[in-house]
Chain A
Amino acid sequence: MTRSIFVTGASGFIGQCLVQRWTAATDYSLKIMTRRQLPEWASKEGRLRQVVGDLLDPETYRAAIAGCDAVVHLAAVTGRAAPEEYELVNVEGTRVLLQACKAAGAPRFLHVSTIAAGYADQSYYPYAKTKARAEALVRESGLDFAIVRPTLVLGEKSPIWNTLLKIAKLPLIPLPEGPRSVLVQPIHVNDVVRGIQLLLESGNFRGEVLELGGPRPLPFREFLGLIQEALRGKPGRIIRVPIAPIRALLAAMEPALRRQMPVTAGQLAVFANDSVPSGNWLLAELLADMPSTEETIAALVHAGNRGGSSGKGMPGRNSQARAMSENARRVLQEECRSLTAYLVGTAPSPYVVEQYTRAAHAHRLAFDEDFSCFDRVTIWLARRGRMLARSADAYCAIFHRRGALRRKLIVLAAILEHVAPTSEVFDRVEPRHVAFTALSLVRYGWMSAVSLLLGALILLPASILCWMATRSIGPGIRARQAQ
């Protein structure tokens, strides 16, 4: 029988995996609610319907719920939000959705919660508190319901997995710990989705709380060690730091600096509580087909390494989505004229200017605000005329090869190389005596050395100043700059 299922939070990490697998491998008729139309799912039309709506506004999805066999409620605020945002979405959103479900004829309600909702120590952790309160609302709703509480959910796009990867790459890891190392039992997102599917198919909506975890519990420290081994072939150094003062400090900083902080006091709750599921029938069924934690980690690390191994990556998907202001466009056009004069000694054709603007956009080189302090200095200098451009380039060719200026110049050179008449500069080789070739080589070497010297005189102090400026503004802002 085809089941009709309404899903909230389908654009989130678990939601995306669920939609991907269910549209491919089940005959469910899916209605997914998202805050905006997602073009990437347009190809799945026929197997799912997108409902653009707002959890807090039941009118936007009331009609879609009517006639559904079940509602899978994944939507929640996570990460570094303010307490009132957690309250609004996780508690009020659930309340509104439950009322809409009752009004629509009480479909079965599958509430996806979190292991944190059952943490004994939820200090400073509004996420866990609001998820626990949402669970209470579900229990009181009178609907046929089941609550699923996954532990740490792993997957290529898992936020926690990607944070752990970054941590595991550090040469020395400060691990917040209480008196003992807490236990975790991470589960792969595919198994969470499989669990939700098994639950739907079983029809067991009898008010159970079903905690889902991976094949075995292990100390957090060991879990981190396994990731390090998969990454580098050996475990790295982990040092214990006391958790209580760190949490208190972070909690004090949060009201003013939440958005800049790499982690909140609440998120450290994972280091203060065991994240281990209690046994239940659904977990027992899942465990039968679950790979070991080591295999899961190895697979994820290799999948991450694979990156864009399918040959050439398509650059600039995100930057393409950003509109370019008229001013930004003008700056790029002027930059193209200036850099073309430096590279080939002529003015670019309107076609080259247009192509450069598009290519810079595609390769995420269009927006000055994306670059580091030093990158901006080199670009600023290069826009000031041929000689300064050559000097900045000569310096970057040795000391800053991956910087934005080099990348911009390579993009422009690639275009000029393939467009007549500037292609002649790259392709045309006239026969001449070998002595003239030798002289020419010496001349280029000399010019490059002089440019390097001039570049170093200007850019060496600038690089020191940029380094000092970056240090003084703190890691949070650096992280935002990097983004």
Chain B
Amino acid sequence: MKILVVGSGPSGVHFALTALRNRHQVVMLDVGRARPDTVLPEEDFPGLKSRLQDPAGYFLGREFAAISLPAAERGHDKEYYGLPPSKDYVFDRPAQFSTLEDGLSPLVSFAAGGLAESWTGGCYPLNDHELRHFPFGYEDLAPHYAEVAARIGVAGGEDDLSRYFPRHDHLLPMLDLDDSSARLLAAYERRRQRLSTKYNARLGRSRQAVLSRSLGERRKCTYCGRCLWGCPNGALYTPSLTLRDCLTCSNFQYVPNTFASHFRLAPSGSIEHLASYDLGSGAATRRTADAYVLACGTLSTSNLVLRSLYKSRKEIVRLTGLMDNRQVLAPLCNLAMLGSSYNARTYQYHQLALGIETDAPDRYVHGQITTLKAATTHSIFRGLPFDLRSAIGIFRDLRSSLGVLNLNFCDWRREHNFLTLSAQLSDAEGWPMLSIRYRPPPGEAEKIRTACTTARGFFRELGAPLIPGMTHIRPMGSSVHYSGTLPMSAQRRPWAVSPACQSYDIDNLFIVDGSVMPFLPAKNLTFTLMANAVRVASVAF
């Protein structure tokens, strides 16, 4: 069967790899912004500062855009993502894609590998409580979680958090802990009974898509501290690694630098062809296939569906149920580390996770704890209310004890959160612009307050109090977990897909990215997206 896949993000590449292994012919269309070459691959993070010829250019960018400055006027500060210039390619969007935003400011990617090229690697399988909104259960998904784990390498093991993360096959041994995380975990071990009973919350090791032992050509983590700037060894997983595996298959054709514009729909409701054009020459191409698979992320996938309807039927519809995880950042100070040094040559991202139970098991709150090691720090000390020389000194004194708890909250589909096309504004190509509308769920503030109160007490008893006044509720769109606009449903209904992710409205269309999530648990969704894509490729083709 000839299958045309749009998008090379985590869903697209894992769908493709399974389909290729099942001997289907796969053509993948992609804008495919390419990752630049890794500089000085043998060097660790501190070494880069002394060995690079132009360290300011590498860390801050040629236009110094990575310097975090306060806006000239109050109220104009932008959310700081701390993304390094080496990841600029991940967020470089072509002029063909623009959005009208109301209540949610998205980050989008057109990189080869998609947004997950800047993934922090949290791999958390959903349990049956969370999957009760899905048309299948954990048992159906478990083999696919295992398959993905075998492909990408997931470090993790058994601990208190296993009650929230079911165990699947092919887990790798855990990574070495950094000192601060190790002391936090040891403090928890000593107070486990009391803390879990009092707060209904548990601490344990996070599961990361990082190699603790070599896998094929990928080297195991060397603890070089360069995770944020792009792992030079391929130990921290990104989907472009799987794209590389796909490219070794003779039945795979990768077509980068191509913008997929819309489907031409026949009156019968099936796709006649996909219209795309080359981003360099502007040359338009019509492509046909036996099945069309959208895997370009919720916003682009929905945009393509909406544009297809607009082009073929002059219809503008709403795709409702847009979801995203609310994130809350709470800096903490691990007092046990005061007076200690830190080691920049460690795994840089989160090593610990926190689970907070709520009144309903599927409304579980998920946290990841990242202790401060190798990092760009001017964005932190510039916020202290002291002269910068004192601020740098104070920050250095506290540095090894600092960390941040990132709390994630679940989301569910609501009718008034939707994607549609704007009748009044058009993009650079004259198409109606993709319009986003999002409002947070009712009672959100109370839920955040409750979870923060729990976390505050929990970490205080661990000897790592949250720093007062510094908890930050991130704006919607920051977590980049957009989903839910074309959900899986066992019942046939408009703008939904079957349990095999086949559209109920367009019969030769399959959707395998976040659009199909009928519910968005608090746990990072990337691992589940990959597993679901493998499941669809296995059961539907």
Contact = CB atoms under 8 A, between A and B. Distances in A.
Interface in B324-348: 338-342, 344
A190 interface: yes
B397 A441 contact: yes
Interface string B73-90: 110101001010000000
A305 B429 CA distance: 22
B489 to A, nearest CB: 31
Main secondary structure, interface of A, reads helix
Contacts of B384: 397
Nearest to B400: A429
B387 A417 contact: no
A391 B386 CA distance: 10
Given A25-B429, A363-B67, A397-B386, A302 B100 contact: yes
A168 to B, nearest CB: 16
A310 B65 CA distance: 13
Interface string A292-315: 000110110011011111111111
A429 B64 contact: no
B425 A190 contact: yes
Interface string B188-229: 000000000000000000000000000000000000000000
B382 A410 contact: yes
B101 A309 contact: yes
Contact of A426 (B68, B91, B100, B392): B392
Given A407-B69, A448-B387, A306 B105 contact: yes
Interface in B94-108: 99-102, 105-107
Contacts of A390: 387, 389-390
A418 B376 contact: yes
B399 to A, nearest CB: 6
Contacts of A437: 338-339, 397
Contacts of B426: 21, 190
A444 B390 contact: yes
Nearest to B335: A434
Interface residues of B, number: 69
Interface stretch (A128-136, A143-151, A275-283, A354-362): A354-362
Interface in A81-138: none
A339 to B, nearest CB: 9
A295 B71 CA distance: 30
Interface residues of A, number: 76
A298 B103 CA distance: 13
B63 A316 contact: yes
Contacts of A166: none
Contacts, number: 200
Contact of B63 (A291, A362, A420, A421): A362
B150 interface: no
Interface centre among B63, B78, B400 (most CB of A within 10 A): B63
Contact of B65 (A314, A410, A428): A314
Contacts of B41: none
B386 to A, nearest CB: 4
Contact of B378 (A21, A306, A413, A447): A413
B65 A313 contact: yes
A331 interface: no
Contacts of A447: 389-390
A440 interface: yes
Given A25-B430, A397-B388, A420-B49, A313 B341 contact: no
A309 B98 CA distance: 11
Contacts of B288: none
Interface string A159-195: 0000000000000000000000000000010100000
B344 A411 contact: no
Interface in A390-421: 390-391, 393-394, 397-398, 401-402, 406-407, 409-411, 413-415, 417-421
Contacts of B63: 314-316, 362
27 contacts: A25-B430, A295-B423, A299-B422, A299-B424, A310-B93, A311-B91, A315-B64, A343-B392, A351-B56, A355-B56, A393-B387, A402-B70, A402-B72, A406-B382, A409-B388, A410-B68, A410-B69, A410-B388, A413-B388, A414-B68, A418-B59, A418-B376, A419-B49, A423-B49, A425-B396, A437-B338, A437-B397
Given A411-B67, A413-B382, A418-B55, 12 more contacts: A24-B429, A24-B430, A291-B424, A310-B93, A313-B65, A313-B78, A414-B67, A414-B68, A418-B58, A425-B392, A429-B397, A451-B390
